[in-house]
Chains A and B, each alone.
Chain A
């Protein structure tokens, strides 16, 4: 436990995720037609600004929620094997369930952030997180356990290692697409940004200023990057080079392949944000329960039958 070689990745995890989330935010600003410096300027502006209070608010609860968001993102990333020589920063044989539990904390974070200020737009925004969560969560859980069924393990490192020659993104494409959709949804980002929607003047973030607002907006990017990183071991073969290149055509360290694949996943998500409008929650709930959940069950069933045979 006290071995510095195992502690170092843990200590560097939070700064690394903040950096990656910052870079993702810069890419997001560029694809949204903004200046690339916009996230940096906004961060500095929010750091210099005072927090805002509203009458009869509950700042303690709101700030607990706001602090939980980035912490949950870091804890979720902790079980993702990043191609480092010693595996994931925290090797956990039920890492996929841990990841799921940490990511669900975002529901609580956004709801309390919307609740705290005692203001209408913020409250409605916070409440929008609940139908969003109830809609994406079941397809997401099924998309998570489908690769786990195929690999026979809930350990992301084992799942990554089980994909010899055929990535799970190819072998279970429906689960992969559902995972990508739920990645954006769990970070209430892109087409699923309704809890922070412009139609609500910022929704759950409307009454937060200064550090509070920074935690919410940065925490969202951190959650998105952490969830996108989990797609690499689950569906894209982890740190292994692409199998289409033949045996060892491209060598390179495992972490470099993880970074490359993470960049591809983030690019796909940024593209998704560009082509999709923000969805209305009631439409998405119906779509999720009537179409996405049966699709996810069918995908899990096909994989289970093939594995059993």
Chain B
């Protein structure tokens, strides 16, 4: 009997060892590329090509260059403006739309949801030429507004979908009192739902922000110069810039700079983001 217990304990120990080893491997796989980018960005041009795991000498030259001389500041600003405005606009539009979709049964409602769902799957390259023409006609080529407009294709449908789910999960009793009082829909939305929906708004807003921040195809096609480019585009076209070295160190520095705010957001709002991501697609 004692022996059996020991064996059980032993097995259990092995099990947890394997488990933690797996955790370690997964963590290493997830983090190593980013770690390598950080290490590379901290190297000077002479040691850039060395493959030591820990840099022996650290320099911030690359970061200085990225900040001061490369025009990366513009892109940072552009991305911030585009992503912020896109997510705010998206939230506003989708809050308005999600309320009747979640709470009222009217003809055409399902069709709207279906359309939103199929737009999330639209290949972006399929709207590229039509969008290009539209942007030309509206005379907003190479403007942030063009990017905001294009990014809405991505953000609106999934935000609408997630928002509808969130509102749907709120118990009906909450607004019943307000309905009894004869409040109209707008009042119900702003006075009753808005306060409860705080967490949902943060989640969807963040997701929309990240999507707009990362968007590449439209930003690449609808902008021309450094002054209008967003971060992903400048990063993609960052080449042959500096004189005495292959610009890998700079690219890595810029990559780290772009990623850090996102990583921080995600670490802080981890739970929220996970719930939003999964609420949007399945769980059905």
A associates with B: no
List the interface of chain A (C-beta within 8 A of B): none
List the interface of chain B (C-beta within 8 A of A): none
